[in-house]
Structure 1
Amino acid sequence: MSIDPGLLDDLEWRGLLAHSTDPDALRAALTEGPVRYYVGFDPTAPSLHMGNLVQILTARRLQQAGHVPYALVGGATGMIGDPKESGERTLNSLDIVKDWVERVRSQIEPFLDFDGPNAATMVNNYDWTASLSVIDFLRDVGKHFPVNRMLARDVVSRRLDSGISYTEFSYVLLQSMDFLNLYRDHGVTLQFGGSDQWGNITAGVELVRRADGGKAHAFATPLVTKSDGTKYGKTEGGALWLDPAMMSPYAFHQFWLNVEDEKVGELLRIFTFLSRAEIEDLEAQTAEKPFLRAGQKALADAVTTLVHGEQETEQAKAAAAALFGGGELRDLSPATLAAALQEAGATEVARGDGLPTVVDLLVQSGLCKSKGEARRTVGEGGAYVNNARVTDPDASPGEADLVGDGWLVVRRGKKNIAGVRVV
């Protein structure tokens, strides 16, 4: 495979270069021939998330440009975890970490090509760390790390007052050892990761130089934040998970569909493989006619297809349309319908002697505050069950009206929707 000389320019245009060790040397290396590079993922949760996706897609961009990827899943570093700002991590058992390693591997693999002249390789740092003795680790790795420089690291210095264990303090040594091992055994000369990992990444570059006199390169991608500077997530405290069991494809698609207008261009650059001309055209459409949400639609479709596949993307779009009367609810899979209704707002009601009346459904779903308000809504023609207008406030749906796994879709007006699951 030939090398794409425009790779670094494309990364810069996409806003994917927050830091680099030596921009000129990095550019020279990436244009002279195939570079072996690595990016690491610690299994500190059962799924990767939006921040990890930035690194996965960046790894894919480098491979498509002709370079050779090594995807590292940290079975060893995942046992410890990088120091957090908020305090000491809870250490997980070896069995849990092993399970998460396999989950993370399976999420990374579809994005890289494991065949051909620049085939990807998946590695686990547990393989070269588990058998290493403490004495060898201290002599061969620890001696290259001045304590004063370790103390000066931002996250460490901020944790000194509240307390930081030697375990987390030493994390940087383990991650740096990964770079040295991959340099020695596989000829890897480039590492990248998120900008919050920049201290760990540059420590690895320095270890390669100190231990072997080697020349290595590194760059970091910026952290992706909302317009107000806060982190993105499904909720204030939740991550945007890639595992469909932890965040449904429908909810995933909706997240991208609802990003702020001012962030659409940035996110299209980072998370899609659309061309510069396509992205700039979508930015222009968003600026001129923001109500059409052309940029958000293209973003949501592209990223959901990358992560979950085209079929799930089409199901997510069909679900969004069907909830508001633009499609047939019964054509949706039970899982997609349930996910869409959980996002819209869902409640459960008991059958009792029969299904609740429309008035009761409107109140129990939270769409109306009282039965009086519910009756007025029906009288004004604003009550719908499964997208059919209801004119009798005392009417009750029948068993045949249930869709999916026992759901009713209740709507007030054009936009207020709730799911009611009959149990």
Structure 2
Amino acid sequence: MDLTPTIGAQRWSRLWGSSNELVDDSVELLAIEMLLSEDSDDEEEPRRGGSRLGKSPNIDRLAGFYAELFYRDYFSASPTYNGEHFRRRFRMNRDLFKKIASDIECHDPYFRQKADCMGKFGLTCYQKCAAAIRALATGSSADDLDDRYRLAESTALETLRRFCEAVVAIYGESYLRYPTEQDLTRLLAQSAKRGWPGMLGSIDCMHWSWKNCPTAWAGEYKGKESGPTIVLEAIADYHGRFWHCFFGMPGSNNDLNVLDRSPIFDEAMNGVAPTVCFDVNGHTYDMGYWLADGIYPEYACFVKTIRAPIGRKQQHFAKMQEAQRKDVERAFGMLQARWHILTSPCRLWSQNAMKSVIVACVALHNMIIEDDLACGQSSEYVLDTPPTMPFVVEPPPSTSSANSRGVLRAVENRDVHRELQRDLMEFQWSTLGDLV
């Protein structure tokens, strides 16, 4: 048999050998290209980063330009926007804003304008305070403040936290205190003028939704509201000024549970609260009272409405009590209308941070009210007390004679509560009953 390969087989072997050579050449070229690409990558300049490894570079937000623009818009000799625009956007007058910014700048070095290692100046105190107040007033997120006040998101959150803490530290003693003797004199004069001798204000609670409440805590913080909340207990007067605020109880607690944990009676039990004496319907009482709704206990310091009034006298008293107790409801409405951050679910993660924010809002609210009243917008607040007013404000008793248990028993006296309610009913009917 002839084993000599045919012409077709010889041609196929030559083609197969040439294809293998082509494959080897292509692999070699691919390897050379990869080596060249690695060499070119090594020769590229390193990309710029942030202040730390792995951080993005800082954005040049032109803080100096916008600081000058903000000053020109509101604080220059001929500002672009007048005082009404400033008050509508920042909820206060320009002079009060300047005072707050100056006090905070002296209190916390964080708000002072400083230069970095390159000599570039950062944000001014006005920019930081304006951004924090705008966040409280509008409830805007930290990212929404970037394009207007040139604060990064992390800087805006840090500024808001420090601003609220500074407000509480600086003004808490003056604007989050119990009434002094002068304050009580004004409150009692105003209450007597409105037909409620001895009244010191109205008490109630408000809930603030907590969006970022941990899931494990949701059952404890969810009550009658649709989601987790934290309760604010407060006492307010006719002008909407808060004289007491207590925040931190979970939303599953009602007003009575909050009262049990509240420090509302601490000053009276410690013997440092002034004594209020007043006459009504021929009887003398030595303790002021607050108007409250039906859930509060029958204490001598509370005056409640009559749930099922019988006759015109009781109906008139219930109508008057429910109308006057709306002072605290109106105060809550003013607080939420002024600081919209309280109307939306809170996006903070810490209860302490929420407390700092809401207490700062209450302090600023009181500052704005007193500033407006001092400017002459209301003459009732600075009313001189006539000598014929049926009340007396006495200094607090000495510490040695104070008896906390005796004070507590006097506060919880139900007989005095019922007698005071009857006397006020007779007083209301005798003075105003003929008008109905």
TM bucket (normalised to shorter chain) is under 0.3
TM-score, length of structure 1 as denominator length: 0.27
TM-score, length of structure 2 as denominator length: 0.26
Whose relative contact order is higher, 1 or 2, with alpha carbons under 8 Å and at least 6 apart? 2
